[in-house]
Structure 1
Amino acid sequence: MTTSRPRLVLVGLPGAGKTTVGGLLARALAVDFVDSDQLVERAAGTTVPEVFRTQGEARFRELEHEAVARALSEHDGVLALGGGAVLHPGTQEALRGHTVVLLDVVPERALARVALSGERPLLADDPAGTFAALRHDRLPVYERVATVTVSTSDRRPQDVAAEVLRAVAQTDGSPVPDEALQRLGTPSGAPSGSVAPTRIPVAGPSSYDVVVGRHLDDEVVRLTDGASRALVLHARATEHLARRLADALGANGVDALLRALPDAEDAKTLDVLASCWELLGEQRFGREDVVVAVGGGATTDVAGFVAATWLRGVRLVNVPTTLLGMVDAAVGGKTGINTAHGKNLVGSFHLPAGVVCDLDSLSTLPAADLRAGLAEVVKCGFIADERILRLVEADGGLGAQDPRSDVLRELVERAVAVKARVVGDDLREAGLREILNYGHTFGHAIERTEGYRWRHGDAVAVGMVFAAELARAAGVLADSVVARHRAVLGLLELPTTYAAGRWAELYEAMTHDKKVRGNALRFVVLEDVARTTMLRAPAPEQLEAAYAAVQG
């Protein structure tokens, strides 16, 4: 029997930010984080909403109390309790002697975060009325068991976590550990980077790791060991980082040559490829040499195709600097360029030697680009990992949009893990990998219709809503899941509508999609969250109904 006890226990209403702040506190204190819902799901072998639906609230509360009692005696990190966990008299008694932090939130802010979420069973029918009743019943209990109270309303999660550390230290009469504040980061700075990077393996014929963390220049150097020369292809916006990496490679005996690529989709042309091949020929790049891609998805697409085609394949190291690149383009080995007939129609599969996702690069990413990248993260949540959706919903999307937050780091790790699992099982898109195209058929049609002036993630966001509406029109997806698409994407300020009067152009563009078989449109759709299927040759009236539903 262990005698461990949590460093901190967080309580509060739904939408108070317990998951987000708890993860930050755990990282700051260099301990593990767990929430009671996770423990219940582990014990029940299913999701909390499913326990509610099939076994009822009474059974859920029983499982919850058992899980909390075990965690209070065994878990030595940060523990977040579900909103109603403290109602159990046994749990109230078990909390005696623990450091319990109440994260308080005003009703308006909490409702903005959770009212439209399909993952709050008690709030599903009448969010405002039910929330008011929950607050009335639970707040006195929270206040009774708490030793510290901190408000989370309209505040950055990092600021809340820092106040928790200071408040707890003041209560205990002890100083706030300097290293904890350094890991957490100050309001004007970034985290210290002392946390070890996360390595996510990608299986396949040539396995490799995706490394997620901060201050990862050494990882790039390691992946180029043995090369004499490196061609560092970079976006113009990442020239500073590319030069820094080139210096690091040079110090390790690798002669690095820098080449800037045109911006975004302008880089994905045959002329750009030809110029890169010409340069490699002039420099006599051999099979032992390496191509390093530093930039967003367009950069890794082009650099990957260059590496795949030079001498029938040389080593590739991807250093994505955008969120979209980290969770999508840089992982999986797909490379390509565009033609007049569509996007990414010419390309190849070429696996990188490794992918280095240095989260520090996201601090300079424009907010609109960060949000666009989150569309691909949300996609992974809908097709495979519901925890992603919950992380966004838990604090109204605030942590997801903060490049310094532990929430965003976990979202990146989880989205990469989803893609790693899929591409590891289906490298060449023979079957399973098609689920990664959720939202992309209509999204690519928007991009083509708009002359690629739309951000890819923005187009995919609308594409997911279209796919959800199409699944509803086909009778395979519940209204609540369709509504959840708009709710989650809305929290991230992503578009969910598209202009009216463009159906003919959009339909024509979709007929060029790679998923078309025998002139029949095929769409990846959901039957539920994390349950995908293929909708083949949907009826014209279903397609038109879906388009009507996304017109704005």
Structure 2
Amino acid sequence: MERINVNLGKRSYPIFIEHGILGNISKIVREYFSGRKILVITDSNVVDLYARQLAAGLENEGFQTFVEVVPAGEASKSLARAEDLYNAALDHRLDRKSAILALGGGVVGDLAGFIAATYMRGIGFIQVPTTLLAQVDSSVGGKVAVNLPRAKNIVGAFYQPKLVIIDPDTLLSLPEREFAEGLVEVIKYGIIRDEDFFRWLEQYIKNLRQNTADLVHAIKRSCEIKAAIVSEDEAECGLRMVLNFGHTVGHALEAVFGYGTLLHGEAVALGMVFEAKIALNRGLIDERTFLRIEGLVKSAVPKDLPHRPDPDSLIESMSFDKKNLNEKITFILPERLGRVGVYSDITAKEILQAIAP
């Protein structure tokens, strides 16, 4: 079993990675929780695959377990859906020693974490991510949120889980499109922090799904990089902002096209290419570096825009980004492979040049 620690003082927690760990999850959870009740929040895609097996295991360990299912997809990250889950928590009589377990992808993790952070001002939270994107990114670091129609993740909190349990076997049931979107976040770590990892991905990314040892390495290295960044900057006051490379444009694309038109990772993939293009046009990186970034991203997600977005709508959506300060849109731009910088002086003209056909 691989174990990575997210070092946050009293809020520190482990990330466990192992094939088949889902079958033994109840014993691990018992080590970290003394309460009796666990509310499992999952979605309509995952419930029949893993939720019932997991709930049965928790029941056998002595937990009183309840399962609440939300529709799969970004639309479930809403205040209306959150209210439904608050009421479910009340119906099940969850108390402050109870825990909420997120079983699913990033949407479920963000939504369940938001409930855990705010129900009774915070109860126990466990992340059991079942998608590659969630395993390497959203399950680690404690960002929890719901969307508003005009802005993604704008209502949320920093709320760390007590533990993260990653079973790569859950990726066997993942559709190819969703596996591919997770690769985007894996690539991001190489660009922002580890040139050697980026180079390794250039060689091995095409066979990651078939090679279990390489897949575990990619998950582990991604989690190590994110854990190190979060340990230095839990509340995104500085360094942690680098994790948002590709997300300024990516989140805006999701909002403009309507949540669900593009998968989150697909939107971020496009955002990474567009933001690398801004860096190229600014002279921060050379053309060879840009082409390597573009090539690796497109080898994972060969996606194009559904249609050209309205420029004003796209820039307006970016203006709601959480990273913005003093009404200036903030971008994370590559300066070389393995290093990025924070820029708040990007003009509308530069943005439009980058997304132009």
For normalisation by structure 1, the TM-score amounts to 0.62
Q: Deviations over 1:332-384 (max 9, x none)?
A: 01100011220111011111010111000000000010001110110111001
How large is the RMSD of aligned CA atoms in angstroms?
Answer: 1.5
Distance 1:267 1:221 in 2: 30
Tell me if 1:248 matches 2:42: no
Q: Quick check: 2:137–2:226 contact (8 Å CA) kept in 1? A: yes
User: Which of 295, 300, 311 is the aligned partner of 1:487?
Assistant: 295
Q: Which amino acid aligns with 2:250?
A: G
Specify the structure having the higher radius of gyration (Cα).
Answer: 1
Structure 2: how far apart are the matches of 1:489 and 1:369?
14
Q: Which residue, out of 213, 219, 233, partners 2:18?
A: 213
Counterpart code for 1:200? I
272-281 or 532-541: bigger deviation: 532-541
Count of residues paired in the alignment: 351
Q: Which residue of 1 aligns with 2:151?
A: 342
Whole-angstrom CA distance in 1 between matches of 2:309 and 2:61 = 57
What aligned pairs does 1:285-296 form with structure 2 within 5 A after superposition? 285-296=94-105
The aligned counterpart of 1:297 is: 106
Match for 1:531 among 328, 339, 349? Answer: 339
Counterpart among 263, 267, 271 of residue 459 in structure 1: 267
Conservation of the 8 A alpha-carbon contact between 2:73 and 2:107: yes
Q: Distance in 2 between matches of 1:440 and 1:226?
A: 38
Q: Are the counterparts in 1 of residues 103 and 128 from structure 2 also a CA contact under 8 Å? A: yes
CA contact (8 A) 2:273 2:297 kept: no
Equivalent position to 2:248, from 441, 461, 464: 441
Q: Which amino acid aligns with 2:303?
A: P
Partner of 2:29: 223
1:71-100 CA-to-partner distances (Å, cap 9, x unmatched) read: xxxxxxxxxxxxxxxxxxxxxxxxxxxxxx
Alignment partner for residue 314 of structure 2, among 506, 521, 530? 506
Query: 1:220: how far off?
Result: 4.6
Q: Deviations over 1:373-421 (max 9, x none)?
A: 11011011100122332232214x322243x522221111111111101
Task: Please state how far the C-alpha of 1:462 moved relative to its aligned partner.
Answer: 0.8
Q: How far off is 1:519 after superposition?
A: 1.5
Residues 1:359 and 1:487: Cα distance change in structure 2 (over 3 Å): same
- Contact preservation (8 Å) 1:462, 1:498: no
SS of structure 2 residue aligned to 1:363? helix
Partner amino acid, structure 2, of 1:482: F
Q: Which moved more, 1:415-424 or 1:260-269?
A: 260-269
Conserved 8 A contact 1:294-1:318: yes
Change in Cα spacing, 1:501 to 1:201, as seen in structure 2 (3 Å) is closer
Question: For 1:321 and 1:209, how far apart are their aligned partners in 2?
Answer: 17
Preserved contact between residue 381 and residue 387 of structure 1 (Cα < 8 Å): yes
Alignment of 1:321-340 (within 5 A): 321-340=130-149
The one of 374, 381, 388 aligned to 2:190: 381
Name the SS for the 2:161 alignment partner: coil
2:224 is equivalent to residue 420 of structure 1: no
Secondary structure of the structure 2 residue equivalent to 1:258: strand
**2:218 paired residue number:** 411
Q: For the Cα contact (< 8 Å) 2:43–2:71, is it kept in 1? A: yes
Structure 2 counterpart of 1:351, one-letter code = Q
Q: Is the 8 A contact 1:210 1:357 kept in 2?
A: yes
Does the CA-based 8 Å contact 1:220-1:356 persist in structure 2? no
* SS of 2:45 mapped into structure 1: helix
Q: Structure 1 residues 292 and 305 mapped into 2: Cα distance closer, same or farther (>3 Å)?
A: same
- Name the counterpart of 1:282: 91
Secondary structure, aligned partner of 2:340:
strand
1:271 maps to 2:75: no
- 1:198 is aligned to 2
Aligned equivalent of 1:543: 351
- 1:17-416 counterparts in 2 under 5 A? 197-205=1-9, 206-217=11-22, 218-224=24-30, 225-239=33-47, 240-395=49-204, 397-402=205-210, 404-416=211-223
Structure 2 counterpart of 1:435, one-letter code = V
3-state SS of the aligned residue for 1:210? strand
Equivalent position of 2:328 in the other structure: 520
CA deviation after TM superposition for structure 1 residue 542, in Å: 2.1
Is the 8 Å Cα contact of residues 269 and 301 (structure 2) preserved in structure 1? no
Unaligned runs of 5+ in 1: 1-196
**Given that residues 25 and 57 in structure 2 are in contact (C-alpha distance below 8 angstroms), is that contact kept between their aligned partners in structure 1?**
no
The structural deviation recorded for 1:494 is: 3.3
Question: Secondary structure of 1:427's match?
Answer: coil
**How many angstroms apart in 2 are the aligned matches of 1:543 and 1:426?**
28
Write the distance in 2 (CA, Å) between the matches of 1:305 and 1:539: 34
Q: 1:423 to 1:501 in 2, by over 3 A?
A: closer
Question: Helix, strand or coil for the counterpart of 2:35?
Answer: coil
The structure with higher relative contact order (CA 8 Å, sep 6+) is 2
Contact 2:278 2:354 in 1 (8 A): yes
CA distance in 1: counterparts of 2:79 and 2:309, whole angstroms: 33
- Identical columns (%): 32
Q: 1:238 to 1:501 in 2, by over 3 A?
A: closer
How far did residue 231 of structure 1 move?
0.3
Q: Give TM-score scaled by structure 2 length.
A: 0.94
Q: Distance in 1 between matches of 2:317 and 2:124?
A: 35
> After superposition, what is the alpha-carbon deviation per residue over 1:95-123, rounded to whole angstroms, capped at 9, x for unaligned?
xxxxxxxxxxxxxxxxxxxxxxxxxxxxx
For the residue of structure 2 that corresponds to 1:389, the secondary structure is: helix
> How many angstroms apart in 2 are the aligned matches of 1:405 and 1:309?
37
Which segments of 5 or more consecutive residues in structure 2 lack a partner in the other structure?
A: none
Q: Quote the Cα distance in structure 2 between the aligned partners of 1:343 and 1:493.
A: 22
- In the alignment, the residues of structure 2 paired with residue 394 and residue 422 of structure 1 have an alpha-carbon distance, to the nearest angstrom, of 25
**Amino acid paired to 1:382:** I
